Amino acid sequence: MTVLEAGEKHQELLDELLSDIEAYNPEVDRELLARAFRFAADAHEGQQRRSGEAFIRHPWGAAMILAELRQDEQTIAAALLHDVVEDTETEIDEVRTEFGDEIAQLVEGVTKLTRIHFQSREQAEAENYRKMIAAMVGDERVILIKLADRLHNMRTIEYLGKQKQLQKARETLEVYAPLAHRLGIHKLKWELEDLAFETLHPRKYEEIKTMVAERRTDREEHVSEASRTLQLELDKVDIPAEISGRAKHFYSIYDKMAKKGREFNEIYDLTAMRVIVERSGDEGTRDCYGALGLIHSLWKPMPGRFKDYIAMPKFNAYRSLHTTVIGPEGRPLEIQVRTRDMHEIAELGVAAHWLYTRGKRDPQWTAWAKQLMESQADEADPRESAGRSDADRFRLCRAHGSRPPHSRGQDQRPDRAAALPAEERRRRRDPDYEDGARPLARLAVAGRLVTRPQQDPPVVLARDA
């Protein structure tokens, strides 16, 4: 079968991909993506996934995820080709000859990253991050492709053997989801966490899913009532904004129950209200604070529940105002306020950064990645490094030129996480470290199985994850 015939066999997949990309990039290089798709389809011809589907559906699935993140055609072409060197007889020089140095380097970077052995245990956590970041420094798009690759594999994880499922799910929860968080790509982080949670704790996942569904109507009515009230007040002072509800994902509910020892009915912020102001730049920032003032004039804010991530962004460039108020009917209501630009970065993180720069290497991003690596390079104990990494506030270039995140100086509280001994941090972090934890919290640890890789039956012709 020729390359053209292999591609035409799956033409509907290519058409769907191109349609999604053209929705945000009308000038996309269709010819490049068609060549990459057909090249991959030909290379993987005859290979199947454990689901029985043609293998080309996996790189296509990863490419579709990157299209959702609105990535450029070089990144998406590399995603289509990301397994051809690893799983077929194709050499990287063939990719370079056909598609040029840029795409070949991305494919080679993903291939090298795939060959890294990640150990899913706490002692190796910091080393995992170092290896991932080291691969990313060459070109940050490599890690975006790898995250898309892992997400698509998690979506089809039920076709793996049970032990392999547990291994991949734990690795996803310990390595890939935290990395997506560090890069600010919450759109991927949330789904990675929920898929891993469903695999590791299926009964608890279904229990929480059912409880959330049972109360959804009541919560949505509560948020709708508050939205109508706030919208009227915003219109009066000419602050154009879109108000919507935001449901928490299941793993975040479970994590809060486990870490804080709470029952389901004690978690009130299952649905939050999100206010996205329409204006951008300085005007948008002023509108955010104006909207916040209105919110606090309508409903009493709860003490200790206000966070200003606009003045002091998170390490991954996340910017938003968070507050929790006593809303309608005297019930707590969590509210987030941000501009559309801030919202895009909150959802896409570094993926939004790459979208804006459109192929131009940003030295500030590379410097940030190197700083992250170097800060962990000399750690004797990986657990010490992992504990400190979230305490540091590394600077990440933001798309619209806002000032860098605030960084605390020498006057930080002495009881901050980075200053505590490893044993004390573990006690605070792990609700099951001491006796007396609630049953649900103990379940969180019960699921931390030590899994050993095992050989699955040879039912496929190519690697699945």
Catalytic positions, please?
Answer: 86-87
Number of H helices, E strands in the chain: 23, 6
Its sign, for the CA torsion 187, 193, 198, 199, is positive
Task: Please choose, from the candidates 82, 119, 141, 173, the residue with its C-alpha nearest in 3D space to the C-alpha of residue 130.
Answer: 119
Go through 81-91 and write b for each residue having 16 or more CB atoms within 10 A of its CB, e for each that does not.
bbbbbebbebe
- Kind plus residue range of the DSSP H or E element containing 441: helix 439-446
Q: Identity (one letter) of the amino acid at 201?
A: H
CA gap 248, 231 in Å, rounded: 23
Q: Is 12 helix (H, G, I), strand (E, B) or coil?
A: helix
CA gap 4, 415 in Å, rounded: 63
- Kind plus residue range of the DSSP H or E element containing 246: strand 241-247
C-beta of residue 383 within 8 angstroms of C-beta of residue 123: yes
Task: Please choose, from the candidates 131, 95, 129, 125, the residue with its C-alpha nearest in 3D space to the C-alpha of residue 113.
Answer: 131
The phi, psi pair for 395, rounded to 5°, reads -85, 130
92-99 and 101-114 helices, crossing angle to 10°? 150
